[in-house]
Amino acid sequence: MVLTKEYRVCMPLTVEEYKIGQLYMIARHSLEQSEEGEGVEVVENKPCEDPVHGKGQYTEKHIHLSSRLPYWIQAICPRVFYVIEKSWNYYPYTLTEYTCSFIPKLNVLIKTKYEDNNGSTENCLDLTEDELKVRTVDHLDIAFDEVSAKHYKKEEDPKFYKSEKTGRGPLIEGWRETDKPIMCSYKVVDASFEVWGLQTKVEDFIQRGIREILLLGHRQAFAWVDEWHGMTLEDVRAYERQKQAETNEKIHNTSGGANATAGEAAKEANDGDID
């Protein structure tokens, strides 16, 4: 059975602003979370078009898992092991898929839509009646839900951060009901791992890892607002290309010469508390 969760993450931004903030945050976050042999390698990044959603951007990344997985997954994985991330960004709608050739029964699909509200749309992604019956909704609070200790930085804490450019922040209790502007990221995550004996544990591990990624990434998008606010789309695309090149170089600079590639989701997913 596929584990389906809908995450709703509000930020004190507009959807139009976050079009820039999202690209900046992903590029910078990927570089910061990378190290020698571990990180995000961007394999492809090019324009795409869809008959329904129009023009967008397609990216493919390789997500290295080996040394950053809990022992009970390492036991069944080869030493050089990565997940393929494919993403179609038709902002304000995006679709992201994670697959793995070594484990064909592993599949994660994330559908995202951004709206200018505080998470009040009950079926933003037009789920079917059957899908709604098995869906669970998790409202993430970027200010008062805690990230793991290894990720915490006071300067990125929305309870303390105040933007000089926009005047927004710090966020106080109940901010999602009072602050303007406000937007919400609606993300429906379907995670399946159809292997007897490991299915429930792995699916829960994936969802916990994704929740941590979403909480951290959206906190950073707001806490870095003064860095990206005012950028044009051309500006942020140039920044993205620069950071992707730096990240790829960092990943391939391995002391053992191994061609290891890595990625944001895999690295962050391991930061759950499962051993």
| C-beta of residue 96 within 8 angstroms of C-beta of residue 87 | yes
Residue 63 lies in a domain: no
Q: Could you state, in chain order, the average pLDDT of each consecutive group of 10 residues for the chain (275 residues)? A: 88 98 94 74 94 96 66 55 90 94 82 98 97 96 96 97 98 97 97 77 85 96 98 97 90 50 37 38
The full length of the chain comes to 275
CATH code at position 157 = 3.30.530.20
What does the pLDDT read at residue 193? 79
Residue 162 lies in a domain: yes
Residue 158 lies in a domain: yes
Residue 240 lies in a domain: yes
SS3 29: helix
Amino acid identity, position 275: D
| C-beta of residue 272 within 8 angstroms of C-beta of residue 201 | no
Rounded distance between C-alpha atoms, residue 231 and residue 228, angstroms: 6
Q: What is the DSSP string of 207-225?
A: HHHHHHHHHHHHHHHHHTH
| C-beta of residue 41 within 8 angstroms of C-beta of residue 247 | yes
What does the pLDDT read at residue 41? 84
Amino acid identity, position 8: R
Residue 80 lies in a domain: no
What does the pLDDT read at residue 269? 38
How many structural domains comprise the chain? 1
* Residue 265 φ/ψ region, left for φ over 0, alpha for ψ in the -120 to 50 degree band, beta for the rest: alpha
**Domain that includes residue 115, residue range:** 3-39+101-247
Q: What's the distance, CA 147 to chain centroid? A: 14
Q: What's the distance, CA 141 to chain centroid? A: 15
Rounded distance between C-alpha atoms, residue 179 and residue 165, angstroms: 16
Residue 130 lies in a domain: yes
Q: What's the distance, CA 7 to chain centroid? A: 11
DSSP designation for 181: S
Residue 60 lies in a domain: no
Closest C-alpha to 214, from 2, 6, 3: 6
What does the pLDDT read at residue 203? 81
What does the pLDDT read at residue 33? 77
Residue 256 lies in a domain: no
